[in-house]
Structure 1
Amino acid sequence: IGILTNIPTPYRKAMWEAYSTIEKVTFDVYYCSPIESDRKWQVASASGVSEHYLDGFTLGRSFHLNLSILKFFKRHDLWLIGGYSMPTAQILILLCKFQKIPYVIMFDGISPQKLKAKEKPVLFQWKRFLVRNCLAWLGNGTVGREYAKKLGLSEEKLYNQYLTVDVEHFQRMTTDKEKIRTSFRAKWCIDSSSYVILYVGRLIESKGVQDLLEAYRQICEGETKQIELLIVGHGSYEEVLKQKAKGLTGVHFIGHVEYENIHEAYLASDLLVLPSYDDPWGLVINEAFACNLKSITTTSSGVHLDFHEDANVYKAGDVKKLIELIIDNIYIANQEKIDKTIVSPKWNFEKSKESLISIIRKYHACN
């Protein structure tokens, strides 16, 4: 099996390693680029698979064109192709179509607000053409399944990717929660008695961190309980956010944190907020669940359809509702509903592996 994806990522590394344990199957992973401009990950090589970096070039953040894929596409019995937006992915899909090589579309998600939105007719028909005749659609969650149906794929082609993080790693770290929590708070001068609200992710406008800052400002004006806000990440909107935070006490911008240490931020916090306006999924919610941390997100994040009860979901931009939800969580109001949001569903690499095994069986049945 050949796998085409954009760049190495921490969560994909663990996924490839899970896939590599499938019997009588070998994997070659082809990356279009070592990194993208808005990422700072340092990812070790995945074990159990062969990894290759394709020659080519990138325009902007993620417009990858790697004509060197022409050298490799005939080497594999089956291809897993990471979406269809990259030029390299489109080229590989066309090659598979013309050479009758079975291919699977890996689809990470789409903001729920786009599921019913009208798309540009020519672009939409091009997408439908690219996915038509795929052996299977390995889409993530409810949003992945529903968008596949919108593109015209039949139910029997749809499999859940269960895109996730290394859940077992995060859960192992929780055994030292109090020690990690104390150490992390001391390092960043966070009071041991404070209620800490956490944001993790890129600092770009569409992530909605400006709404979280405004909610924090209003809550602090009327609260006697000590609250602090921890913002982890980097991005083009960072300086704007820092300007908005001027005059607010207890706001900590700590920049990029490597994946192997990110659990410390979750374990030191009491609530995660993902206030996105447009998020295909939102893997930070997976990370929070793995750390048994409560979370709030918006109806614009793909993850909420599979991970959240209505108790901790609001419409993006509704700062008043966000304030209400944060206060509910601070004072454990509506405890029964809130507790439901920290019971993680079976969303792990083993489930993803099971989906791929089913697709491989389908491949053998067709060949």
Structure 2
Amino acid sequence: MRILIVHNILWAHYKSVVFQALQRLVDQRPDVTMLVLQIARNERSRAGLEVEVGTTAPTYAYDYDLLFDRYLEDVTLAERMQALLQKARKFRPDVIHLTGYYDPAQLLLLGWAKVQGIPVVMQNESTAVDHKRGSLKEYFKRFVFSQCAGFFCFGSQSAQYLIQLGVKPAKILLQKNAVDNATLRSVYEKSVSQRSDQQQALSLRQHNFIFVGRLIEFKNLPTLITAFAQAITQSAMAHQWGLVLLGDGVEKDSLQTQINALNLTDRVTLLSGRPWFRVPEILALSDVLVLPSRSEPWGLVVNEAMACSLPAIVSERCGCVPDLVHDGQNGFVFNPDQPTQLADQLKQVMDGLVDLKRMKNAAEQSVVPYSPEAVAQEMFDGFSKITT
């Protein structure tokens, strides 16, 4: 079996760790070969998260070709089409895995594979609620998906969306998403021993809620700040708690303005984004993750937090919720349009009305089945299923 995987950007470490785990499975089988085509190095929107010069980042070993050593936005459609077709013809795959339906170059490869009789597995991140849907676009998706032999989905909500579009359940081969749990946990454990000193150095509170991600509109951060402001006026233990926003983005200035207007400058801390493998250094200074997004196909930061034993308070519109967030056990689920609901959950945590230690243990256990090795095994099994 010859497996060809098309992926957009080499930077995506959470995919690289899965590809490495998949490569290890492939290497155990002399009759199986795998190649990953990485179209570009990174996206401009994530350029600030690239590794600083002189920093030692985790590396992942798997067979790949980097087609263009530049930003994805700088690679033309014609270049993508030519490179993908050329590489596919040379590799002669038995199965192809595509990143998504939205790239015309990958749709061209899908058409070529159909003519050649090569089955295609399509990745799907979308859910029915993460964006507004137009009927014409949905019709187009139905047609594209009807040409595919199988699907790798980001969770059960993603799978249900495909079923709504006419995909047979038997074609859904994977319903998980993973990050590098082991590396994240290792960095966290090294950092947590310095928690008090680092909190003091950054002027943080003894306990903290934390958001990690880009400071952009759909992350719904004004609602989080408003809810936090409301919660600290109601909690008897509010003096112990702060809020950390870790990331960069176009809303940074407006969020700072909101923080100033609510007199929260000594309670809400904005920290610049950092490479993913250094995020646990700040998670170690925190107690609970909050992800208030109005739209999120999955929300990998929840995996990252739970790998570091942090419970998560997560918007019901994040794709990971049905699979990973168990309300009242390893976190809470809330309506992102209701700051009062979120404020009440923050207050419960502040006032010790939940067993935070038990929630931390539950969070750590919840993410165990979402390991790179588990995802890779299901991918391998999926490839095998549609090629036999």
TM-score by length of 1: 0.89
Shift of 1:6: 1.5
Structure 2 CA distance for aligned equivalents of residues 262 and 203 of structure 1: 15
What is the distance in 1 between the residues matched to 2:50 and 2:65?
15
Partners in 2 of 1:15 and 1:354 — Cα distance?
Answer: 9
1:255 partnered with 2:258: no
Task: For residue 26 of structure 1, report the CA deviation from its aligned partner.
Answer: 2.8
Cα 1:37–1:55 shift into 2, 3 Å: closer
Distance 1:189 1:64 in 2: 51
Task: Give the counterpart of 2:217 among 205, 214, 217.
Answer: 205
Q: Which residue of 2 aligns with 1:15?
A: 18
Q: What's the counterpart of residue 357 of structure 1?
A: 380
In structure 2, the CA distance between the partners of 1:41 and 1:145, relative to structure 1 (3 Å rule), is same
Native 8 Å contact 2:227 2:340 kept in 1: yes
Q: Do structure 1's residue 314 and structure 2's residue 334 form an aligned pair?
A: yes
Given that 1:64 and 1:87 are in contact with CA atoms closer than 8 Å, whether structure 2 keeps it comes out as: no
Matched, 1:32 2:30: no
Tell me, yes or no, if the aligned pair for 1:37 and 1:61 is still in contact at 8 Å: no
Partner of 2:4: 2
**In structure 1, what is the Cα distance between the partners aligned to 2:79 and 2:225?**
38
- Structure 1 residue 78 and structure 2 residue 80: aligned? no
1:27 Cα offset (Å)? 2.4
Tell me the SS of whatever aligns to 2:37: strand
Q: Kindly report which structure 2 residues correspond to 1:175-190, keeping only aligned pairs within 5 A, or say none.
A: 175-176=189-190, 178-190=192-204
Q: Structure 1 residue 162 and structure 2 residue 176: aligned?
A: yes
Gaps of 5+ in 1: none
- Aligned pair in 2 of structure 1 residues 275, 291: CA closer, same or farther (>3 Å)? same
Q: CA deviation at 1:338?
A: 5.0
Please list every run of 5 or more consecutive structure 2 residues that lacks an aligned counterpart in the other structure. Answer: 52-56
Deviations 1:318-340 (A, max 9, x none): 10000000111222324399565
Give 1:280 deviation, angstroms: 0.5
Secondary structure of the structure 2 residue equivalent to 1:113 = coil
Q: What is the aligned partner in structure 2 of residue 136 from structure 1?
A: 150
- The verdict on how the C-alpha distance between 1:155 and 1:29 changes in structure 2, with shifts beyond 3 A counting, is same
1:105-124 equivalence runs, <5 A: 105-107=122-124, 109-111=125-127, 113-114=129-130, 119-124=133-138
Return the alpha-carbon distance in structure 2 between the equivalents of residues 258 and 130 of structure 1. Answer: 35
- How many correspondences in the alignment? 360
Residues 327 and 220 (structure 1 numbering): CA distance in 2 closer, same or farther, change over 3 Å?
closer
Determine the structure 1 residue equivalent to 2:230: 218
The answer to whether the 8 A contact 2:195-2:284 is kept is yes
Kept in 1: contact 2:227–2:342 (CA 8 A):
yes
Q: Please, what is the CA RMSD of the aligned residues? A: 2.7
Counterpart code for 2:349: N
Give the drift of 1:63: 8.6
Q: In the aligned structure 1, how far is the partner of 2:271 from the partner of 2:156?
A: 33
Does residue 291 of structure 1 match 2:299?
Answer: no
In structure 1, the partner of 2:54 is: none
Range moving further from structure 2, 28-37 or 249-258: 28-37
Q: Deviations over 1:159-191 (max 9, x none)?
A: 225211111222334443532423432332224
- Rounded to whole Å, the distance in 1 between the matches of 2:166 and 2:366 is 31
Deviates most, 338-347 or 152-161: 338-347
CA separation in 2, counterparts of 1:36 and 1:114?
21
Q: Which has the higher contact order (CA 8 A, sep 6+)?
A: 2
Relative to structure 1, the CA distance from residue 242 to residue 261 in structure 2 (aligned partners, 3 Å threshold; closer, same or farther) is same
In structure 2, do the counterparts of structure 1 residues 56 and 341 end up closer, same or farther at CA, with 3 Å as the change threshold? closer
Secondary structure of 2:45's counterpart equals coil
In structure 2, what is the equivalent of residue 102 of structure 1?
A: 119
Question: 278-287 or 218-227, which moves further after superposition?
Answer: 218-227
Mapped partners of 2:285, 2:190: distance in 1? 11
Is 1:329–1:338's contact at 8 Å kept on the other side of the alignment?
no
Task: Give the corresponding residue for 1:332.
Answer: 352
Whether the 8 Å contact between 2:43 and 2:73 is mirrored in structure 1 is no
Cα separation, 2, equivalents of 1:131 and 1:56: 30
Shift of 1:56: 9.5
